[in-house]
Structure 1
C-alpha cells in the first residue's frame, strides 16, 4: 500500500501558506476591480482567473464558487467602512462629526472602492439577490452605529436631546451614499470633500444644543 505524502511542515509549510494567502488576496483584488468595472453579474470566474493568471480550478479551490468569491470581496472591502463608523463612535460628540470629511477623502483617494459598492448595491436591491441580505444588514448596522454615537452625545450633553437619533442616523447615511453616487457619476462637477465638509458643519449646528 502506498503511503500519502506528508503535509509540508515548518518553514516549508509557512511558505506554502503565505503563498496561498497572497494568491487569495490577488484574486480578491482582481475580482473587486472587475466587479466595479463590469458588475458582478457580467463578470465570470474565468475573467477573474485570467486577470491573475491562474486556472478556474485554482480560483475555485480558494472560494468554492462565484458566490463565495463575491462574499470574500464584500467582507474584505466592507471592513474599512464599519471600522471607520466604529472609530467615529469611539470619538463621540462633535469630534466624530468633524471627522466625516475623512471618509470623503478616502473615497476620493480610492474611487474604485466607492464604485464597487455602488455597483454591488444596485445589483442586489431585490430579495433573493445573491448579496441582498448582506447589504440590508450592512446598512442596518451602520445606522445603528451612528444612532448610538448620537445617543451617547445626547446623554453626555454634547448633542441636543430634541434630535431624533434614529432619523438623524438615517439622514447622515443617506447624505453619504447620495453624495458618493453623484460624485461617481460626475466627478468633474461634484467636489465630494467640500460637500461633505459643508454638510458636517451644518450637522453640527443641528446637533449642538
Structure 2
C-alpha cells in the first residue's frame, strides 16, 4: 500500500503563507510605493487580517525589510555568479543582468521605487540601501584593482570613483527603461555601455595576448 504524502507541518504552512504575503506586498509596493500602500491594503490583497499580517512581520517596517530581502536574493545570486567568473568574463556578463531585469520588470521597478523612498535617513530601508550600495561599490572597485594589478586596466583610474560611475550608469539606464520601455532598450543600452567601459578601462594599456574584458 502506498503511503499518502505527509501533510505540511504547521511551521511549513506558516512559512508558505509568509512567502505569499511577501509576494503580494512586492506587487503593491512596486505599484504604489511603501508609503502609498497601507497594511490594510496588503492584508486585503493577501486575504488575511491585519493582526494576522502583523503576526508574521511585526510591523509595516518589518514587512518592508522582508520585501527588500526577497528582491535582493535574486541580485545577490547573480552577483555571486559574477564573482565566480574569471575577471575577463564579468564585463561581458553585464547585459545578462539587464536581460534578467527585463524579464522581471516588476522586481526591477520595486527596487527603484524602494530606493527612491529610502533617501531620507529616517526611512525604514535607508540603512539597508546605504550598506547595499557600499558593498556593491567595494566589489566593483576590488575587481578593478585586480585588473590593474594584472596589467590589463589603466593605472590612472580611481577604482572607487569608477565603481560609483558604473553602478550609477546601470541604475540610470534601468530607471529610464522603466519610465519609457517603448523607447529605451535596456539590454542594448547595457551592451553599448559595456563596450564603452571596456575601451575606457583599457585605453593605452599594452595588449597582453588576446583581447579580454577586464572588469
Task: Give yes or no for TM over 0.5.
Answer: yes
Measured in 2, the distance between the counterparts of 1:56 and 1:197 equals 45
Instruction: Please say if 1:170 is aligned against 2:180.
Output: no
Q: 1:118 aligns with which of 94, 108, 112?
A: 112
Cα deviation digits, residues 31-88 of structure 1 (max 9, x gap): 0100000011121111111111111121111101111000000012112223323332
Instruction: Please say if 1:197 is aligned against 2:186.
Output: no
Cα deviation digits, residues 84-105 of structure 1 (max 9, x gap): 2333233242310000001110
Q: 2:87 aligns with which of 89, 93, 101?
A: 93
Measured in 2, the distance between the counterparts of 1:144 and 1:118 equals 21
Do the aligned partners of 1:182 and 1:190 also contact (CA within 8 Å) in 2? yes
* Count of aligned pairs between the two proteins: 198
Judged with a 3 Å threshold, the aligned counterparts in structure 2 of structure 1 residues 89 and 152 are, in CA distance, closer, same or farther, namely farther
- What secondary structure is seen at the aligned counterpart in 1 of 2:181? coil
Unaligned runs of 5+ in 2: 1-5, 206-215
Deviation at 1:129, TM superposition (A): 1.6
> Which residue pairs with 2:177 in the alignment?
183
Deviation at 1:196, TM superposition (A): 0.3
Deviation at 1:27, TM superposition (A): 0.5
- What secondary structure is seen at the aligned counterpart in 2 of 1:183? helix
Deviation at 1:113, TM superposition (A): 0.7
Measured in 2, the distance between the counterparts of 1:89 and 1:153 equals 13
> Which residue pairs with 2:132 in the alignment?
138
Summarize the alignment of residues 1-209 of structure 1 with structure 2, pairs less than 5 Å apart: 15-208=9-202, 209=205
Measured in 1, the distance between the counterparts of 2:105 and 2:34 equals 17
Query: Which stretch of the first structure deviates more once superposed, 195-204 or 75-84?
Result: 75-84
Measured in 2, the distance between the counterparts of 1:86 and 1:142 equals 12
Segments of 4+ moved more than 6 angstroms: none
Cα deviation digits, residues 159-205 of structure 1 (max 9, x gap): 23232211111111011100001001100000100010011111111
Deviation at 1:135, TM superposition (A): 1.0
Unaligned runs of 5+ in 1: 1-10
> Which residue pairs with 1:3 in the alignment?
none
